[in-house]
Structure 1
Amino acid sequence: MAVKSLRFPAFILLAVLCAHSLGAATYVVSPSGKNTAAGTLAAPWKTLAHAATKARPGDTVEVRTGIYAERLLLTRSGTAQAPIIFRARSGETPVIDGAKLSTDSGWLPLFWLQGVSHVTIQGFELRNYYTAQKNRVPIGILINGSGTGVRLLNNHIHHLGTTYTGANGGDAHGIAIYGDENTPIRDLVIRGNRLHHLKLGSSEALVLNGNVTGFLVESNTVRACNNIGIDAIGHEDTCPDPAQDAARNGIIRLNTVYGINSYGNPAYGKNHSAGGIYVDGGRDILIEQNTVYDCDIGIELASEHAGESTSGVTVRKNLIHHNRIGGLFMGGYDTKRGRTEDCLIEENTFVENDTLRYGNGEIQLQFDVRDTIIQKNLIVTNTQSLVIGNSYTQNTGTTVDYTTLYTPAKPRWQWKNKSYSGLSAWRTASKQDTHSKVLSTRPKNLPTAP
């Protein structure tokens, strides 16, 4: 989703920019507390907002079980040696409930980390936050500006989003990282979070957009959303400096993404177009050891902007199975888009993708794929027996080899808009897969259709 500037709602300022820690403290917040109390376990504060005005570098705010109908804005940073931590008290579940909060302005995060460094948010449940208004953007957790060392750990974000019924103007995010300054957001960790039942409009469940570098998105579960699961975006004018306007130098690892389906989303109508994991204009990203299934598209590497690219992405050791219109898509979705280049696709397992039989195959090469290596993958097709689909002739420098392949019938390939049947004919015509092999029996212990 393109964003040129953030319009901030009228928050009460919850933290100041400058602070000096005189010694680490642990404070406690509880719905039964009072903001005039001491902030201890015996005498807790009542609101996160009050805790944010008090927390200094090195402090920890422990939040007890209960319902909190409030937003949190953090603008104070910790340090590398003394981070500021907001977390659930051990064994407890604080719930941030948005059902009674107003949605009368543009960007509407429940938790907003604005230009902060060395802050951790851990163990919160965020829920029940919707709007039917156009150009209102509910968000579970938003980080923007610049900063380093932020951690989002083990949060649970669900039943949130836009119910706007128009084709344009409905957006929402579960977790959104917007690097909208020339100084990047860096050293970011998003780990162990659960995101589900999000109504996203034309946006994404978990997104890194603009000047974001050195990130780790690991061991999260994203499911049951009506648009893209995890997305690393570039070239949307999020950052003022075009050279820095791309999520980059990151790792997307060990995530489970499923049940991602744009069909019926007002922004997409009756189209299946949502990827489980998507790099749209990002660069130099490792995508490894993820499990992606029951999505419209398993993994997609593309650029939606003409003249721009997704580049330097490695897709390795992922399990990609039973996705609706294909396992892996690369290149622009039409000739007005950008390109995919210098990517490596290796040691993945593809199983029976394109369940809707759109004719895309396990791997689909779209418009303008360049200098990409596809090697050492296990590919098991459905009854279409279509390994690779490629209806565009703008496909240069792509190599395919060392494939281990099983197809129920004679394997088929489409390459630069020509079709081939059988490994021998494919090898002769394309000069690809010279070291590949076709199995006579289906491998065991593969995942079944969900």
Structure 2
Amino acid sequence: MKIHILITLFYFLYIPSNAQTNYYIATTGNDANNGLFATPWKTIQYGVVHAGINDTLNILSGTYNEKININRSNIYIRNYASNTPLVSATGLTTQDAVFQIINQSNITISGLEIANNIQLDAQGILVDGNCQNITIKNCKIHDIHFSSNPAASVNSSKNAQGIIVYGSHATIPISNLKILNNTLYDCRLGYSEGIAVNGNVDGFSVIGNTVRNITNIGIDVIGHEGTCPTPSNDQARNGIVKYNKTYNCLSPYATSGGLYVDGGKNIIIENNNSYNNGYGIEIGCENIGKTTDNITVRNNIFYNNQVCAIAMGGYAYPSGSGKVTNCTIKNNTCFKDGYDLNASMGELYLSYSENSIIQNNIFYVSTQNFLGYAELGQPSLNFNYNLFYSDNTPANLEADWNGTSYSTLATFKSGTNTNANSPIGNPLFYIDPLAPPDALPDFHLTTGSAAIDKGNPGFVAAATERDIDHALRVLNIVDCGADEFGSSPTYTFIGNGDWDVSDNWMDGFIPPVYTPVNSIVTIDPIVSGECILNKEQHIADNAQLIVVSGKKLRIIKGLIITN
């Protein structure tokens, strides 16, 4: 048995420095009331106008037929406790968005259902201009439509958006933007996207969202569209897109990705699950003379997408589009994509890109045996250390690469001078033995997998990089694909306050009550903060509980060491 525990206990009295008031909104309330629990206000808009600095509006269950202009800073708007309020825009056309935030800061919207905004340019939530520290979390957004007619014709002027962020200020970027754990579904969006971050935005997180059953792109990070009047700032940048699930994001008039970057810069896209879309992900650059740069796509799962798992490059460079440069695609699992035989590009579609890396991925090709398509050239492409497989004679994988067709993997490797260290082999994904014969695997590797230790031996994981189980990325040599076989789950407390609040844990991963064997739990609160163990917690045999030196863990419920 090996249990590592290093704990320093601190007990102290905390007295808040400022009093903040909770106000309440109820459908049975009255805006002539004082807004306290027993005498709530009736409308959210009234509460927004009359609450004080840093006050909280608690919305009780019921339907609120409103559109809200949050025309002030420093307010928290949330559902009260376990209440389920619906903010419905039925019949309202006073503004495009159900919730509108323009040139305001320090605002959180949490736990609301937002729906039924049906008009041209309809929006669920709009953030625009000079906005700092905006958080949108735990909301359900649905039935945002550009038209009430499901069969309405679509063109570039027909748009609706679920959550849209416009960095439109010429010099000051939107920063510390957080879009967390929302669900967006059943929207007809025309030429626009489910969740989009566009223009002068520097520092953002799009984490833990589910986007499904919409008629265009799921999550989009955008630059070079003229949103910001200063061209050098007109680029969403320095962001992370993580632990999202996008599926059934299918456009009837264009190929839509579950995930898309068009003109962004310095973005990490990791640990997402994207399936049943047009593309699993596309890294492109639509605007002539512009560049999408330094996008990292790692540890994602892409499967059963219509055209391909991964598309990368400027589609008509140089005269019809920009280009993609310095991007890394690594440790992704791509499984049986390109199901539309009339449009299939297999698992990988490359147009024009420069200085990009494609390594440590699993490409498990469908029975049509087509690996990928490349055009326009890919100068300085580093394409190696991947694992290839198919249920249909994997040695005969086909590809069309820069005008040459290949009918075997061996001729593809030699003809393209790529993948010298990329074997053929079965990744042996885990499949539940009780599942039906056509069930999908869960994409975890099993003993004997050909993906184990087959990545680049020189690979070094980033400090915060984790596999699909939030486990450490490298044991010996990195595995191919999104799962690291046998690695230890990790949980890191990085906030301030209670143990059982997901926002206090890195990526929202709270340790289960019984921690897995070999797991690592690290307590590293913010400066002057603490971790309060407010629930019973079992630490398993061969687990590690580490309190970083100088940091505080306060135990008010049971900490149980099992062996």
Q: Distance in 2 between the 1:359 and 1:110 partners?
A: 38
Shift of residue 332 of structure 1? 2.3
* Corresponding residue for residue 173 of structure 1: 161
Shift of residue 419 of structure 1? 1.7
* Corresponding residue for residue 415 of structure 2: 429
1:383 equivalent in alignment to 2:367: yes
Query: What is the number of residues matched between the two proteins?
Result: 408
1:220 equivalent in alignment to 2:209: yes
**Superposition TM-score, scaled by structure 2 size:** 0.70
DSSP 3-state at the match of 1:129: strand
Shift of residue 86 of structure 1? 0.4
**Superposition TM-score, scaled by structure 1 size:** 0.88
Q: Alpha-carbon deviations, 1:117-150, whole Å to 9, x = none?
A: 111000110111112xxxx311000000112211
Among 411, 414, 430, the residue aligned to 2:397: 411
Q: Distance in 2 between the 1:246 and 1:449 partners?
A: 38
Among 30, 33, 52, the residue aligned to 2:29: 33
Among 40, 46, 53, the residue aligned to 1:50: 46
DSSP 3-state at the match of 1:57: coil
Structure 1 residues 425 and 22: CA distance shift in structure 2, 3 A? closer
Q: Distance in 2 between the 1:397 and 1:316 partners?
A: 20
Shift of residue 166 of structure 1? 4.4
1:120 equivalent in alignment to 2:115: no
* Corresponding residue for residue 303 of structure 2: 321
* Corresponding residue for residue 358 of structure 2: 374
Letter in 1 for 2:113: E
1:298 equivalent in alignment to 2:280: yes
Q: Alpha-carbon deviations, 1:4-50, whole Å to 9, x = none?
A: xxxxxxxxxxxxxxxxx984111001111011111011000011111
Among 168, 183, 200, the residue aligned to 1:194: 183
Q: Alpha-carbon deviations, 1:44-87, whole Å to 9, x = none?
A: 00111110111222211101111111111112222xxxxx2100
Q: Distance in 2 between the 1:166 and 1:292 partners?
A: 25
How high is the sequence identity, in percent, across the aligned residues? 33
Q: Alpha-carbon deviations, 1:346-385, whole Å to 9, x = none?
A: 000000000102241101002x211100000011000122
Give matches, 1:202-351, under 5 Å: 202-263=191-252, 268=253, 271=254, 273-335=255-317, 336-351=320-335
Q: CA RMSD in A?
A: 1.7
Q: Alpha-carbon deviations, 1:236-261, whole Å to 9, x = none?
A: 00001111101110000000000011
Shift of residue 442 of structure 1? 6.1
Q: Alpha-carbon deviations, 1:165-217, whole Å to 9, x = none?
A: 24242100000000000211100111010000111000001000000111000
Letter in 1 for 2:203: G
DSSP 3-state at the match of 2:178: strand
Structure 1 residues 429 and 165: CA distance shift in structure 2, 3 A? closer
Give matches, 1:56-95, under 5 Å: 56-78=52-74, 84-95=75-86
DSSP 3-state at the match of 1:295: coil
* Corresponding residue for residue 87 of structure 2: 96
In the alignment, structure 2 segments of 5+ residues that lack a partner are 1-16, 432-438, 443-563
Larger Rg: 2
Q: Contact 1:359/1:389 (CA < 8 Å) preserved in 2?
A: no
Q: Contact 2:281/2:311 (CA < 8 Å) preserved in 1?
A: yes
Letter in 2 for 1:429: G
Q: Contact 2:143/2:187 (CA < 8 Å) preserved in 1?
A: yes
